[in-house]
């Protein structure tokens, strides 16, 4: 399946597309904010991992727009650019998996968010903005462009 990334911010027809944040909780709490969540990407290895723990999650079922393989999404720094043949996105932060995932499959949320003595570890993918729209097809190569150092790790970013 291919996706069309719109220059106005996200996948055409997606509920998170647009230049302003459309998350209802964020709007109620923070008002109108720039949309840093236009695209959601998940590493397909996460889907493989939860399968070994008894969950069946097909690509797209966790709200992601794109699933990747052989790209350490969670290890990339903030402002990394991912380039496809046509489209370019910029990573803005980690996705904060919400309780709706637990309603989708009981017990799944605990595999996407771990609570450790050092803090919360979010494994539910990354969020990004669209810098250049275009068509994205399965099997497209992804070119990774790191930002200039010093690199800042991806973190969950609530609106300000």
Q: Domains of the chain: which residue ranges?
A: 3-138
Residue 8 is predicted with a pLDDT of 58
Residue 1 is predicted with a pLDDT of 41
Query: How far out from the chain centre does Cα 85 lie?
Result: 20
Fold of 3-138: M1 Pyruvate Kinase; Domain 3 (2.40.33)
Residue 159 is predicted with a pLDDT of 65
Helix (H) or strand (E) holding 26: helix 24-30
Residue 85 is predicted with a pLDDT of 94
| Nearby residues of 23 by Cβ (< 8 Å), 6 or more positions away | 16, 37
User: Which structure tokens are listed for 9?
Assistant: 């911010």
Residue 9 is predicted with a pLDDT of 74
Query: How far out from the chain centre does Cα 14 lie?
Result: 13
Partners of residue 128 on adjacent β-strands? 39, 91
Nearest Cα to Cα of residue 75 among 59, 61, 91, 86:
91
Which position has the token pair 């998996």? 97
Residue 160 is predicted with a pLDDT of 63
Three-state DSSP state, 46: helix
The C-alpha atoms of residue 116 and residue 97 are separated, in whole angstroms, by 16
Residue 36, burial from CB neighbour count under 10 angstroms (0-12, 13-18, 19+): middle
Question: In the chain, which stretches have pLDDT less than 50?
Answer: 1
Side-chain-facing half-sphere of 66: CA atoms under 13 Å: 34
Three-state DSSP state, 113: strand
């Amino acid at each position: 399946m291919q996706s069309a990334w719109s220059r106005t911010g996200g996948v055409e027809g997606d509920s998170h597309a647009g230049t302003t944040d459309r998350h209802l909780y964020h709007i109620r709490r923070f008002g109108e904010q720039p949309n840093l969540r236009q695209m959601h990407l998940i590493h397909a290895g996460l889907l493989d991992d939860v399968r070994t723990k008894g969950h069946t999650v097909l690509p797209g079922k966790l709200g992601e727009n794109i699933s990747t393989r052989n790209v350490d999404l969670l290890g990339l720094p903030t402002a990394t650019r991912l380039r496809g043949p046509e489209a370019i996105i910029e990573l803005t932060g980690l996705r904060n998996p919400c309780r709706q995932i637990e309603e989708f499959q009981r017990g799944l949320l605990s595999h996407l968010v771990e609570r450790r003595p050092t803090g919360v570890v979010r494994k539910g993918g990354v969020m990004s903005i669209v810098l250049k729209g275009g068509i994205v097809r399965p099997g497209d190569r992804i070119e990774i462009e790191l930002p200039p150092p010093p690199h800042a790790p991806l973190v969950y970013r609530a609106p300000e």
